[in-house]
Amino acid sequence: MSSNQNDVVFFDENGLRTDGRRPDEIRPMKIKIGVLSRANGSCYLEWGANKVLAAVYGPREAHPKRTQRAGQAIIRYRYNMQSFSVEDRARPGPSRRSSEISKVSREAFEPVVLTDAYPKAAIDIFVEVLQADAGTRTAAINAASLALVDAGIPIRGLVSACAVGKVGGKIVLDLNKPEDNYGEADLPIAMTEDGKITLVQMDGHLTPSEFEEAMELVQKGCRQVLEIQKAALMEKFVADGNFDETVE
């Protein structure tokens, strides 16, 4: 968050944002499930100018053996930003930021994955950010959620993620890069299908009432994302003939 936010114009005379969106509108999302043949499940997702690729491997025997848990599978999540994904080259390899994102993203999935079904196993989720434009951790979670389904891993439901923020004094959904750079707050969340929040982070400042407004709006954003995820699953599995829509 920058201190020169007062110099930036976030809305036009019609109240629309720099990219033409309304305050409660998310960026366009495109999804392709099952793009990698060597992974058990995969998903390529574009959200605005963000481009991410998720791959899921497992359940498979966890190595090293000391990481195994007797009664359940472990989930591992690696978020990685390619050096070419940002304007100025990002330093390759793990960073504090990527470790933190990997940790909170793994925790976002723990309540939904039926890990008890696979003792001593590991479920590995890898996400590569190919192009970044603010909102990569939420884009990554949305892609990972679909890659888990594609891998056939039993889950209680999808996880959907979206960010909300404050720019020019207004609460807006799904910040783009200028909004993220010059806005006053950014608050990514992840949510299960039944409305349980599994990730909340916040950068910047909101008053308690702004926080409430933001939480309400971002849950609407997650539900919009969920509909797009479900549509992508229908397209993939109906197209592949693996899904029978008729109920006997």
Between 121 and 127, CB nearer to ligand ADP: 127
Measured from the CB of residue 136, what is the shortest distance to ligand ADP in angstroms?
A: 3
Binding region for ligand ADP (CB under 6 A) out of 20-28, 34-42, 84-92, 220-228: 84-92
Measured from the CB of residue 89, what is the shortest distance to ligand ADP in angstroms?
A: 8
Give the binding-site size for ligand ADP (rule: CB under 6 A): 13
Identify the DSSP state of 11.
Answer: B
Between 67 and 83, CB nearer to ligand ADP: 83
Q: Could you give the CA distance from residue 120 to residue 200 in angstroms, rounded to a whole number? A: 29
Backbone torsions φ then ψ of 20, nearest 5 degrees: 85, 0
* Residues 109, 233, 220, 173, CA torsion sign: positive
Residue type, 63: H
Does 27 contact ligand ADP by CB under 6 A? Answer: no
Between 105 and 115, CB nearer to ligand ADP: 105
Q: Is the distance from CB of 90 to CB of 46 less than 8 angstroms?
A: no
CA-based diameter of the chain, in Å?
A: 61
Does 54 contact ligand ADP by CB under 6 A? Answer: no
Does 90 contact ligand ADP by CB under 6 A? Answer: yes
Measured from the CB of residue 161, what is the shortest distance to ligand ADP in angstroms?
A: 9
Tokens representing residue 79 in the block = 């978020």
Q: Is the distance from CB of 15 to CB of 23 less than 8 angstroms?
A: yes
Restricting to residues 128-157, which ones interact with ligand ADP according to CB under 6 A? Answer: 132-137
- Please, which residues have CB within 8 angstroms of residue 115's CB and are 6 or more apart in sequence? 72, 73, 74, 75, 123
Binding region for ligand ADP (CB under 6 A) out of 64-72, 82-90, 204-212, 228-236: 82-90
Q: Is the distance from CB of 240 to CB of 232 less than 8 angstroms?
A: no
Does 21 contact ligand ADP by CB under 6 A? Answer: no
Backbone torsions φ then ψ of 96, nearest 5 degrees: -60, -40
Binding region for ligand ADP (CB under 6 A) out of 111-119, 127-135, 141-149, 236-244: 127-135
Restricting to residues 165-224, which ones interact with ligand ADP according to CB under 6 A? Answer: 177, 180, 186
Residues that bind ligand ADP (CB under 6 A): 86, 88, 90, 97, 132-137, 177, 180, 186
